[in-house]
Structure 1
């Protein structure tokens, strides 16, 4: 199938947490024989902070913030068998949502792929006039980055024909165990951009334990934290490029996952970095959210904390042997159940089912 995909960026992870998610999904679809064109806007200096060159698993079309150029691209994309509009493209989102929803034909699929479903649902359910809320019934499928039954029910309540979570996963080509790097040595590392929906939880689950464990070494990576007040035992790394993620996951005793408020509220929303860290064999400590045990077994494959005090206690009791055992167990689980090949197989079943239905209708 020919697939047109409108997203934030597939070549740059700069202020773009969905980059590795897009890469893993698109690469796995390409390996199944699909042809993907990924359309992304030239905004937020992402092209200047690329992590990768144009990949061989899709055609990348970078467009300027120009409506006339976008109109020509939309005409081109309308000929695809599957047309996907992801949330949070960052430029002309409302226009893209409207145009893709109205590209529906008898023999194609139009899909809205929500990479931040909790935030989208909170917005549309608090504003009956929201432009996207009125478009939901026009899409064949709403695919979501996570959210479980709560998100499915909420989307159906707002008129979705079908809503299916396509969870984050591991890209085994890019994330794997590597030799530790001295610059990432420490007790606990957290990697995440500074966002209003996450900052309070970073203070609770990361900075508070750092303050309580002054003899331990903590590492903070991600954009936006430079002017944040933090304990002296926290080493701020700034933006960490994707090529260094494996070493950052492999080197410290443990890595921390902190959900955004909206993700924790709906549950079943593991961040991409959970699977990346597991794929590197890291010992992961995560804040609690409903559905953790759907992905990893607590205490055996992942450690779970409900507040900063529990993170502190987990670190005090974490031995090198225990950290290694948890990391190895998480690594085995993610390879067996949570790779992007597993997610692409789900997408293929969606495409196959839709093709079957279309053939029956035409007959």
Structure 2
């Protein structure tokens, strides 16, 4: 592999984390790729809801370009896509199918689809919803980098014809997420944008726990929650929490809650970036269960699994401080060993080399 790759990423957003987890994932990965000597250009569709909520402060590690639409992408940025060593198209990119066709038809180098939403993507395609990916496109990309591991990878190759599907979990940046002394404002917190499928388990595992544990202090942070939701009196609401405040948020909780979307539970092997960020901050996690969670954290030792409000309350009231800190320390040790942005950058380099070798073999 070349020591210095020219990489182009067309992603949902790197400039704004408003209502999406893609920005922090892209920022960490690209920063580490830059540290490894690679040149990265990020192409982002300029849309009003991100334009009015931009929170990226450091642009030094990549060349960030905003474009107005597909016509401008073709007219102004064809050359950087054509001559890149690696071009990555992310999930939820506006007009993603048209963008994908443009990329695979234009790029001379390796092309990849980076799916930060794999179970959602596959569920959408099964309903003939091709918002940002069409089944016909999958075999055209050299690689499918999947947020989800496990059996889904085999499905992507055998059912959808991907030449090379690889696990590419989200990650965290140890320079941004680490333990620090903070007053514990809350017994349990949750960070996540509202979604209709996450709200019932959030209610079951956390909000009902708040009602049962009146002496406890709870917080839910994230945008787009409907005005009609009735929050228990001991649940604080934070409308939007930019990434720069996530570390303080996690360090201000005794425990943090993880809630998983339905499609990701069905697919399994789909760890949220919030799991890694919270663990890095030494905050013990209470989570719903999904197949494959044991491949990320050991239940009971590195993560706590809850199936009811009662179980959640039992954790909050029954676990002593020494045990709480031990669970947190074990999870932090795990994510530092396997799930940093630096680990993902190295994985991407390995996958690029693998795809390059495979492409040459096919051409021969």
**1:128-143 alignment, distance < 5 Å:** 132-143=134-145
Q: Cα distance 1:229–1:22, how it changes in 2: closer, same or farther (>3 A)?
A: same
- Residue equivalent to 2:25: 21
CA shift in 2, pair 1:80/1:303, >3 Å? same
1:86 pairs with 2:87: no
Given the alignment of the two structures, is residue 224 of structure 1 paired with residue 224 of structure 2, yes or no? yes
Distance in 2 (alpha carbons) for counterparts of 1:40 and 1:78 = 17
Aligned to 2:200: 200
Change (3 A) 1:63 1:129: closer
Measure, in 2, the Cα distance between the counterparts of 1:354 and 1:48: 38
1:95 to 94, 98, 119: 98
> Unaligned stretches of 5+ in structure 1?
none
> Is the contact made by 2:116 and 2:170 (CA closer than 8 Å) also made in structure 1?
no
Give aligned pairs, total.
357
Are 1:201 and 1:260, in contact at CA under 8 Å, matched by a contact in 2?
no
TM-score for the superposition, normalised by structure 1: 0.92
Which residue of structure 2 lines up, in the alignment, with residue 240 of structure 1?
Answer: 241
Structure 1 stretches of 4+ moved >4 Å: 128-131, 357-363
Task: Provide structure 2 residue ranges, at least 5 long, that are not aligned to the other structure.
Answer: none
Which secondary structure state, in structure 1, belongs to the residue aligned with residue 72 of structure 2? helix
270-279 vs 190-199, which deviates more? 190-199
For 1:42 and 1:128, the matched residues in 2 are separated by 23
Q: Check whether the contact 2:153–2:166 (CA below 8 A) recurs between aligned residues.
A: no
Equivalent residue, structure 1, for 2:8:
4
* Contact kept? 1:250, 1:281, Cα under 8 Å: yes
CA distance in 2, matches of 1:44, 1:156: 39
CA RMSD of aligned residues (A): 2.1
Equivalent residue in structure 2 for 1:168, among 167, 170, 173: 170
Deviates more, 1:119-128 or 1:23-32: 119-128
Q: 1:307 to 1:157 in 2, by over 3 A?
A: farther
CA displacement at 1:134 relative to structure 2: 1.4
Aligned to 1:123: 124
